[in-house]
Amino acid sequence: MRQVYLDYAATTPVHPEVQRVMGKYFNEVYGNPASLHAMGQEAYGAVEDVRATIADVLGSQSEEVLFTSGGTESDNCAVKGVAFALREKGNHIITSSIEHHAVLEACYFLQKNGFDITILPVDRYGIVDPDDVRKAITRSTILVSIMHANNEIGTIEPVEEIGTLCRERKVYFHTDAVQSFGSLNTRVDDLNVDLLSLSAHKFYGPKGVGVLYVRKGTRFVPLLHGGSQEFGKRASTLNVPGIMGLGKAVMLARDEQTSRVGHGMKLRDRLIHFITQSIEDTQLNGHPKQRLPNNCHVTIKNIEGESMLLKLDAVGIEVATGSACSSESLEPSHVLIATGISPVDAHGSLRFTVGRLTTEDDIAYVEQHLPRIIEELRIVSPFTKK
Ligand code: PLP
């Protein structure tokens, strides 16, 4: 059966060149970068080269790039790391209602431990109003964390503007750029951020490795205590093969950014156009223009997304009903609810995310099967007026 993978926001296949680079560091150069012998030092040198490359792409200094185990750890380290470091100065943190659970749950944890958390609303497209951030900042605000682009509906947030006003008010600003890296400009001085999270598996790198950028001078307490790796900010032996894969994936994302974005937009726009124009009672979620180039998120009224997902899967089409991380939960997506979508419509939503291996034929295959599946489900749907 044909397989059409349209869940690139959940994860991406590892690029063959990334795999090739990693192999060497499993089999030949397996030394610990903290070891003083030649093999350890070779691994150390290779890791530092990757750090310099990532710093170059982010427009930062090498010492500001920390390797982590992925987006979840980077987000947790950013939020809790600043919170615990600045506890004496203040206890107020501002975030938004559409953040990834890695930020929201870290904030809820802090709330249970005496911090004051403000969760800002979004408009119907999922956009945070910078003016709301401005009004929410008080004398005890120590951190603002607003994502660069949303993982479910693909909406791009006005982070440059939010970063500027945080700087004016001398409040640290963190952005989760896990979904935007490789598609949008993530240079830290353009975004005006103090902390930024990345995850390799979202841009054809391996799972379990990521980056936390921490601007020099930012007060920060490590989450993991132990050895003095990562400038004393993150203990644990470095995941050398993962870091080497991450480095290659970053270089490929940089070199192929224009072609990947162009390719994604063409296929995404074809999908959006097809679904919203030729299938009745459908609507695009997220912002029509300020959205990630590979994201098509739609509500298909009067049907459950889970039934559609299973029927699509039966013909080899792999999509998501909401955030990949909550795909086992039957709670309606917090992101869709935050944009004002009803719980029933939230359940009838599908996320299609295209990637570098998606073809026009793949989209044609969706166009061939989706209308039939929707029609079959609408006939038996209890929501359909008979
Ligand atoms: N932040 C966003 C916006 C994400 O989309 C994800 C993953 O879905 C994460 C954080 C978590 O990243 P990881 O899977 O590397 O822990």
pLDDT, tens only, 123-178? 999 999 999 999 999 999 999 999 999 999 999 999 999 999 999 999 999 999 99
Range of the domain at 337: 4-11+257-380
Catalytic residue numbers read 325
Last residue of a domain, one of 229, 252, 275: 252
Question: Looking at ligand 1, which atom is closest to the CA of residue 73?
Answer: 16
Question: Tokens 């989209």 identify what position?
Answer: 363
Instruction: Kindly give, in sequence order, each residue whose CB lies less than 8 Å from that of residue 90, ignoring residues fewer than 6 positions away.
Output: 138, 139, 140, 141, 142
The predicted pLDDT at position 382 comes to 73
Answer yes or no: is the C-beta of 324 below 6 A from any ligand 1 atom: yes
CA 37 / ligand 1 centre spacing (Å): 36
Count of C-beta atoms within a 10 Å radius of residue 77: 27
Asked whether 95 and 145 are in contact (CB, 8 A), the reply is: yes
* 226 shares a domain with 353: no
* 104 occurs within a structural domain: yes
Same structural domain, 243 and 289: no
Number of helical (H) and strand (E) elements in the chain, helices listed first: 12, 12
* 62 and 94 both lie in a single domain: yes
Identify the CA nearest to 374 among candidates 277, 309, 296: 309
* Distance from residue 346's CA to the centre of ligand 1 (Å): 21
pLDDT, tens digit (0-9, with 9 covering 90-100), for 52-85: 999 999 999 999 999 999 999 999 999 999 999 9
Whether residue 386 is contained in a domain is answered as no
Q: What is the mean pLDDT of residues 98-105?
A: 98
Cβ 12 under 6 angstroms from ligand 1: no
Q: How far is the CA of 285 from the centre of ligand 1 (A)?
A: 20
70 lines ligand 1 (CB under 6 A): yes
In terms of domains, do 243 and 136 share one? yes
Shared-domain flag, residues 369 and 347: yes
Domain count, the chain: 2
Distance, CA of 386 to CA of 384 (rounded, Å): 6
Ligand 1 and 348: CB distance under 6 A: no
**Which of 72, 96, 323, when mutated, tests ligand 1's pocket best, judged by the most ligand atoms within 8 Å of its CB?**
72
Tell me: do 278 and 155 sit in the same domain.
no
- Whether residue 329 is predicted with pLDDT greater than 70 in this model: the reply is no
Q: How is residue 351 annotated by DSSP? A: E
Tokens of 142: 């120590």
Q: Cα-flanking dihedrals φ and ψ of residue 69, to 5°? A: -90, 10
Instruction: Note whether residue 98 is domain-resident.
Output: yes
Cα 220 to averaged position of ligand 1 atoms, centre (Å): 21
Ligand 1 near 75 CB (within 6 A): yes
What CATH number should be reported for the domain holding residue 40? 3.40.640.10
129 and 168, same domain (yes or no)? yes
Asked whether 294 lines ligand 1 (CB < 6 A), one says: no
Q: Which two tokens stand for residue 27?
A: 């089999």
Range 336-347 average pLDDT: 93
3-class SS of residue 27: helix
Ligand 1, atom 12, lies closest to the CA of: 71
Cα dihedral 60, 66, 70, 74, rounded to 10, equals: -80
